[in-house]
Copies of this chain bind each other. A is one copy, B any other.
Amino acid sequence: MSTKNKILDSAESLFADKGFNGTSLREITSQAEVNLAAVNYHFGSKKELIKAVMSRYMNELSPRLETALTQVCNTESPSLIDVFSAFIEPLLSLNDFKTKGTSNFLQLLGRGYTDSQGFLRWFLTTQYPGVIDNFVLAVQKAYPELNAEEMFWRLHFTMGTVVFTMSSSDALIDIAKSDFDRNLQISDVIRNVIPYVAAGVGAPMPSSATA
């Protein structure tokens, strides 16, 4: 295993656990068993390391996601459940790509949104615009009555639900075990959240006739 990959792996798990700001380069290089200066040598700076960690996942995920969302758009009359379910297989495929891949990535997503404000929005919209565009198209096809403004709000609410849930998924899984004696995994959390966000996005328009 190369020094570069050892750093990426350690950074990924530590970032997911403790956030970007909450993780020091010394923690990362210590866990990776490499020298402290190796981070700046290989990546230039901490910020570039963060981007490298995120890109490794997004490059794996975004083509699968775009394909799945395009397929939904090409079906006859997709439901919102169909749209959100399109995320399942691409997200779970990250577990083949890397151990704990799915949960690590989803937690990183949450960290990127809350740690340094605006970073994730910039990262996704500038680096991977195709994913968002396809997603909006799929939602429009599933719920054409939703106007642009309502769509804007509800997609942000959904982003919040997913990002927040995933950034605290470890705690939620622990509570589910102690309170309900259920041994759940990240895939169960994903399957649980889909009916919720689908119902939220699919809520009737506030001041219009029923769809």
- A157-196 interface code vs B (CB 8 A; 1 in, 0 out): 1011111110110011001100110100000000011011
6 A-B pairs (CB sep. < 8 Å): A113-B168, A161-B161, A161-B164, A195-B203, A199-B199, A199-B200
Q: A113 to B168: give the CA distance in the assembly, Å.
A: 9
Q: How far is the CA of A110 from the CA of B113 in the complex (A)?
A: 12
A22 touches which of B21, B161, B196, B198 (Cβ 8 Å): B21
Number of copies: 2
Residues of B within 8 A of A206 (CB): 195
CA distance A110 to B180 in the complex (A): 27
Binds B, one of A30-38, A39-47, A147-155: A147-155
Whether a CB of chain B sits under 8 angstroms from the CB of A24 is no
Q: How large is the interface on A (under 10, 10 to 19, 20 to 34, 35 or more residues)?
A: 35 or more
Q: How far is the CA of A203 from the CA of B200 in the complex (A)?
A: 8
Instruction: State in angstroms the CA–CA spacing of A176 and B159 once bound together.
Output: 16
How far is B170's CA from A118's CA once the two chains are assembled, in angstroms? 11
User: Once the chains bind, are A157 and B168 in contact (CB under 8 Å)?
Assistant: no
User: A140 to chain B: closest CB distance in Å?
Assistant: 16
Given contacts A21-B21, A196-B203, are A160 and B153 in contact (CB under 8 A)?
no
Q: How close is A171's CB to chain B, nearest CB, in angstroms?
A: 7
Q: How far is the CA of A164 from the CA of B131 in the complex (A)?
A: 21
Give Cα A21–Cα B203 distance, bound, in whole angstroms: 37
Q: In the complex, A182 Cα to B148 Cα: how many Å?
A: 13
Assess the A157–B114 pair: CB atoms within 8 A: no
Please name the residue on chain B nearest to A111 by beta carbon. B114
Residues of B within 8 A of A171 (CB): 117-118, 121
